Amino acid sequence: MSLARSGVMTLPPGFRFHPTDEELVAQYLRRKVMSYPVPASIISEVEVCKADPWDLPGVKGEEMYFFSTREAKYPNG
């Protein structure tokens, strides 16, 4: 597995990353929040709120997953 120029990990032919919602929360998000290592660096960190949808890394038409920090729109929340 290697990182493509866009910053998205390229997977070997035949590999499919199709986790359930439960797997995303239990195996990836919870571990990320607790600063534990995630099983693989398949999910990129991207500031999705600061990017136009067409500028997000990935292949058009495919489901993509990103870690992104949540920011308040206004200073007071």
- Mean pLDDT is highest, among 23-27, 39-43, 46-50, 52-56, for 23-27
> Which has the higher per-residue pLDDT, 54 or 7?
54
Average pLDDT of the residues in 22-42: 88
* Residue 52 within any structural domain of the chain: yes
Would 75 be classed as within a structural domain? no
The answer to whether residue 74 sits within a structural domain is no
List the domain range (segments joined by +) for residue 63: 2-67
Q: Quick check: is 14 in a domain?
A: yes
Domain membership flag for residue 73? no
Query: How confident is residue 65, by pLDDT bands cut at 50, 70 and 90?
Result: confident
> Into how many domains does the chain fold?
1
For residue 10, what pLDDT is reported?
66
Q: Where are the beta strands (DSSP E) in the chain?
A: 2-3, 9-10, 44-45, 66-67
